[in-house]
Structure 1
């Protein structure tokens, strides 16, 4: 099934509530255009790229159209796309019923899209946020998210996945990776969110260079003994757990670091207020 065939199928599905796409060779841009045009009642959208890390087709106008035309969306999973922060922000901020977000292996996301989203505008209904294996996810942005949670934002967030088989990126140098969750204020989080579930597994320090080499040789990477983060309170209850392993068949999708200079000339800059301040 190609883009045209999928559009034809969706055109007959005006009452569609749930759409899951895995393994089809269709573009993100064309697919979201079709959903936006034909499926105004959709509540759940799960789309996993068939060419992990190489689909960069999505543009801001399509994000805006999807937000405006599919206002019932509560579950959004876009996995394996080059989804820049500015586009992720438009989507998360725009959907007023959004509770579940999964951007697994979205290689361009740094986490900056979450800034100031946990209050009254966008993101305040989020219950589940999955940023697993987002290669450009930054330690500083994750730390900022925790600060926002401690300050009372993201009040309904109960599940966060920041596991990364290549570690988190440092603020100044993308190749300098963070392999330790020591920056996470576990005790303080536990005090304000006793039901919060955090998944934060990272590989042993120094593994990133080996992975980069393996990816260059088109070899799939995996870890049989990933770093497992768990913390027990004084009464012995488990706060953080992980149920996953890193035996993955997805490549790294290594690319040049783009930091926050990703807004193309043909894109609107209306949604980049989070870059300042």
Structure 2
């Protein structure tokens, strides 16, 4: 390398320091520098640092005061650089010493520590990683990012954070949760937040098993389908606040998003309010795409009686179905199931707040259960703020069902039908109503075990 021109100012500190060092002490090498620093640090601990004429501070002052002319500012800058280097080196050594002490005193082997960290939620893992160097090293293992949950710190998450997390997980990624569960307006990621799953021919998404997206803006809907196309091992898919920028009917998304995810067992889609019917071929494709589906939730979705019938009859392993908030269902699909439902594995049926659900159809369904159909059914909920549609076409809030017969013949069945009370006097009309309806705004039919269904864990 050419020697620097002495007539031209040099702005590179490393070059400037080496030139100065060579000018002051020709023949200096790295060993000489190490010896000089060691001698400086080996000064007697009895030597005062300040105040005394023999203190180190006074020595610095005298040396710097002897430098005159243009070299004075340069020496001052050089002294500040050396002080900064000494300070940073000291901090690094302290961290290394603390890491060594932690390694000695920490009771678990690094492998076990990594295993423990892999069981933490993402936020706790990040907090542990900044405790010390040893924890940080263990927390950088790919296994610790197998299950990424960024919903708890949603306000502080952007695309860059998602990119980093997915990159750290790599091929170990098994579950991913993004978005804000409690709010639909605070948190918003762009559609590219899932792009890392498709990088390198789907390296990160290839073994993904669970994907939960809460209130994200993903437009157009086909971009989500492109991401899911590299997730062939997905078994659990949950999307709430489903927003699509294209004009594809929401029901048709059932076929689009499951086209390349044939192993799906649990499907949860919420907040698709368009009720236009889809073509039968689209629904049949959806059924054909997911032979292993055992749990399906379509909240506020464009589902009709025909679609519901196809879904229940088409999925031979279906145990849980939730069609709450659906406007297009009257309940006639329950009657049409007939004998085909005798050996159905269906255990849970939720039809809450279905605006057009008819009292007569529910009654016929309960009678079919008494006749021996749906032997596996354990939980039914038809609660609604709108009541049920009676034969006269008006809403009824006091439907008549064969509750006593169900109690006798199906004691394991939990049947819930909560409706707004018309008046406090109506609460005493049946022993099936709540004991406290006089002070409540609703009355209900309910018998069986008092169990709470959790849609996330269904």
- The 5-angstrom pairing of residues 124-273 of structure 1 reads 124-173=344-393, 176-181=394-399, 183-205=400-422, 225-230=441-446, 239=448
- The 5-angstrom pairing of residues 36-185 of structure 1 reads 36-50=258-272, 52=273, 54-56=274-276, 58-117=278-337, 119-120=339-340, 124-173=344-393, 176-181=394-399, 183-185=400-402
- The 5-angstrom pairing of residues 15-30 of structure 1 reads 15-26=233-244, 27-30=249-252
For 1:92 and 1:99, the matched residues in 2 are separated by 9
For 2:236 and 2:250, the matched residues in 1 are separated by 17
Q: Segments of 4+ in structure 1 off by > 6 A?
A: none
Alignment root-mean-square deviation, CA: 2.3
Q: CA deviation at 1:68?
A: 1.4
Q: Note closer, same or farther for the CA distance 1:64–1:150 as it changes in structure 2 (3 Å cut).
A: same
For 1:81 and 1:24, the matched residues in 2 are separated by 10
**Relative to structure 2, which stretch is displaced further, 26-35 or 159-168?**
26-35
Higher relative contact order (CA 8 A, sep 6+): 1
**Equivalent residue of 1:229, what SS?**
strand
For 1:153 and 1:167, the matched residues in 2 are separated by 26
Gaps of 5+ in 2: 1-217, 424-439, 454-458
Q: CA deviation at 1:239?
A: 3.3
For 2:302 and 2:421, the matched residues in 1 are separated by 26
Query: When the two structures are aligned, how many residues end up with a matched partner?
Result: 215
Task: Please say which structure displays the higher CA radius of gyration.
Answer: 2
Q: CA deviation at 1:168?
A: 0.0
For 1:123 and 1:6, the matched residues in 2 are separated by 36
Q: Note closer, same or farther for the CA distance 1:140–1:123 as it changes in structure 2 (3 Å cut).
A: farther
| Residues 95 and 122, structure 1, Cα contact 8 Å, conserved in 2 | no
In the superposition, the TM-score normalised over structure 2's length comes to 0.44
Q: Note closer, same or farther for the CA distance 1:56–1:116 as it changes in structure 2 (3 Å cut).
A: closer
For 1:240 and 1:204, the matched residues in 2 are separated by 23
Gaps of 5+ in 1: 207-223, 231-237, 245-277
